[in-house]
Structure 1
Amino acid sequence: MLSNPATNPTQKAHAGFQAAYLTLLESGELEQRARIARQHLQDCDLCARYCRVDRLRTVQGAVCRIGARAVVYSYGSHHGEEDVLRGWNGSGTIFFSGCNLRCEFCQNWEISQKRAGREATAEEIAAMMLDLQVQGCHNINFVSPSHVVAQILEATLIAARHGLRRPLVYNTGGYDSPEALALLDGIIDIYMPDMKYGDSALAHRYSHVRDYWEVNHVAVKEMHRQVGDLQWDENGLAYRGLLVRHLVLPNGLAGTEKVLEFIAREISTNTYLNLMDQYYPCYRAGGIPELSRPVNAAEYQEALAIARRLGLNRLSGV
């Protein structure tokens, strides 16, 4: 059952902050966006796969294999995110199963590829969001959301009506369609996209997706247009803006220099960047020679040097 937790003292938002979606709730625009997004499911263009499947009737032909209801693997307070998100009470993560990417090295392949979890109604997802707020989580963090934008918007509408006030984090693999991002404009507070590859041919080889670079850099530019550089409060908690993640791959396969040059020259040198060194071969990567080893220290230090040479000094995890 949904309840209104707004009177709970743990629910105080950042000083001077109001979650973006609350303005659209008051105007009725949030309800309209949720309704339009559901219509998109009938000819789905809500990720850059453009499967055009009627997901209200079937999952056949849809890469994500998710229908009218999202599949949730788990939700809870997560302390493994960036400091600006996890704070002291954790980031309120909701892990969605299914994914529009097919990465050979996916660390969460049971969730992304096998669709582990259970179907959840919009009301159930809204209840999760409100529960995370009651737990004191600093934000609501949608993990792998690209294929369930419509379901997220419907749940956000319900949760906002019942007192949700936390900022929303869109934690994506970065293969997002302009149609989906237009629906999310003014609703998402913090965009956290991956920029996985600087080369679409390598993205196709290792993540089985076409035109990743072309799609990804357009999506990230639009995300930045909507929310700007990452901002945080006096406690170091992010409340609005763009946070980019880039996983350094062995043997230069991520195209790190091209990705970082794009961020510095076409987004902002003030971009908050998590340059990640934790790659290790999992899922099918052990059988792919060029992906079958961890990133070494020299490769990661080279990536850091590139970032600093380009003036990208807001680095997380360094």
Structure 2
Amino acid sequence: MICNLCPRRCGAERTDTRSGGVCGQPAMPVAARAMLHQWEEPCLVGEHGAGTVFFSGCNLRCCFCQNQPISRGGVGKAITPERLRQIFRELIDQGAACLDLVTPTHFTPAILEALGDEVWPVPVVWNCGGYEDPETLRQLEGKVQVYLPDLKYALPGPAKRYSGAEDYFQWASAAILEMFRQTGPYVMENGQLKRGVLIRHLLLPGEMENTRRCLDFVAEHFRPGEVLVSLMSQYTPQPGAEGNLRRHVTRAEYRAAVAYMENCGITDGYTQERTSAKEEYTPDFDGRGV
């Protein structure tokens, strides 16, 4: 296919065997791990964990990515849509509370084929970086029950500097509005998210104004009870980090972000202890489960 699935619209030729584009992946799915994952938000984990499939490749270039071996390092195993569908069933048989599809955008056609017309017994979660094209998202209507997008940036400066996507906010904001159009206000049953949008924002050291602007967007577009927000403190410096990114988020920074979130009237969601910045949150991408 000539790929224009994401905002990059790079027009790369991607086939079953030929990789291309910013994501650097073929058209067929490539995955590095399938597992019951305990470190998603509590409303997604349930008793046994989220049934998580970690796909390889990414349309962003985040210099602080904790999943670099799969996002940019080429780690992963090519599978067919039929095998992916089998993986979904295996995860459900293991007790998965949801099907958690991590960085799935560039494999949208194959994932749609794997999901098929089946009514799955657990929610399908689209766990993405937020840099999404609403036109691609519209193909998922009725197939995805929970959207789990990042809202990394509202300012073009850090978006360009850290992720190579100066236009991030214009696409992410439109994508989140499309996600909400599809799901409507979130639905929680017995502490488990069955439908809706859960927006993640990772506080970056020294970028408090960016965080404020992201929270402003949520407060301006959604009323209480419509979306969930997860304000994350788990930024971990990566090798080669420069400037503020060489350090963790300070207590004062995170307290200020939590206070601003509360002052915005955003009360539906999650905050984290600063001790959440742990390497064990990142699994071994050794191909198990794939």
Q: Give TM-score, length-normalised by structure 1.
A: 0.82
Question: Which one has a larger percent helix, Structure 1 or Structure 2?
Answer: 1
Q: Do residues 207 (structure 1) and 166 (structure 2) align? A: no
Please list the CA deviations of residues 185-216 of structure 1 after superposition, one character each: whole Å capped at 9, or x if unmatched: 12110000000011122111111123001111
Q: Do residues 265 (structure 1) and 220 (structure 2) align? A: yes
CA change 1:69–1:60 in 2 (3 A) is: closer
Q: How is 1:197-276 mapped onto 2 (pairs within 5 angstroms)?
A: 197-233=153-189, 235-252=190-207, 255-270=210-225, 271-276=227-232
CA contact under 8 A between 1:105 and 1:284: conserved in structure 2?
no
Q: How is 1:35-50 mapped onto 2 (pairs within 5 angstroms)?
A: 42-50=1-9
- Per mean C-alpha deviation after superposition, the further-off stretch among 246-255 and 190-199 is 246-255
Q: Do residues 76 (structure 1) and 35 (structure 2) align? A: yes
Q: Which residue of structure 2 aligns with residue 312 of structure 1?
A: 266
Q: Secondary structure of the residue that 1:240 maps to in structure 2?
A: strand
CA contact under 8 A between 2:19 and 2:27: conserved in structure 1?
no
Q: Which residue of structure 2 aligns with residue 66 of structure 1?
A: 25
Please list the CA deviations of residues 84-120 of structure 1 after superposition, one character each: whole Å capped at 9, or x if unmatched: 0001111000000111111000011111111211101
Work out the CA distance in 1 between the residues paired with 2:86 and 2:16: 25
CA contact under 8 A between 1:73 and 1:95: conserved in structure 2?
yes
Q: Do residues 143 (structure 1) and 98 (structure 2) align? A: no
CA change 1:150–1:136 in 2 (3 A) is: same
CA contact under 8 A between 1:71 and 1:115: conserved in structure 2?
no
CA change 1:291–1:59 in 2 (3 A) is: farther
Structure 2 unaligned blocks of 5 or more? 273-290
Deviation (angstroms), 1:80:
0.7
Please list the CA deviations of residues 128-166 of structure 1 after superposition, one character each: whole Å capped at 9, or x if unmatched: 0000111111110000111111111011117x3xx7422
Select the structure of larger CA radius of gyration.
1
Please list the CA deviations of residues 198-248 of structure 1 after superposition, one character each: whole Å capped at 9, or x if unmatched: 112211111112300111111111111111232111x21111000010000
Work out the CA distance in 1 between the residues paired with 2:113 and 2:187: 27
CA contact under 8 A between 2:20 and 2:26: conserved in structure 1?
no
CA contact under 8 A between 1:93 and 1:143: conserved in structure 2?
yes
Work out the CA distance in 2 between the residues paired with 1:98 and 1:152: 15
CA change 1:204–1:155 in 2 (3 A) is: same
CA contact under 8 A between 1:197 and 1:254: conserved in structure 2?
no
Q: 1:52 aligns with which of 8, 11, 19?
A: 11
Q: Secondary structure of the residue that 2:78 maps to in structure 1?
A: strand
Letter aligned with residue 160 of structure 2 = H
Q: Do residues 99 (structure 1) and 53 (structure 2) align? A: no
- Per mean C-alpha deviation after superposition, the further-off stretch among 53-62 and 169-178 is 53-62
CA RMSD of aligned residues (A): 1.6
Q: How is 1:115-194 mapped onto 2 (pairs within 5 angstroms)?
A: 115-157=74-116, 160=118, 164-194=120-150
Please list the CA deviations of residues 31-65 of structure 1 after superposition, one character each: whole Å capped at 9, or x if unmatched: xxxxxxxxxxx221211111112312775650111
Q: Which residue of structure 2 aligns with residue 10 of structure 1?
A: none
Q: Which residue of structure 1 aligns with residue 280 of structure 2?
A: none
Percent identity of paired positions between Structure 1 and Structure 2: 39
Q: Would you say how many aligned residue pairs link Structure 1 and Structure 2?
A: 271
CA contact under 8 A between 1:107 and 1:283: conserved in structure 2?
no
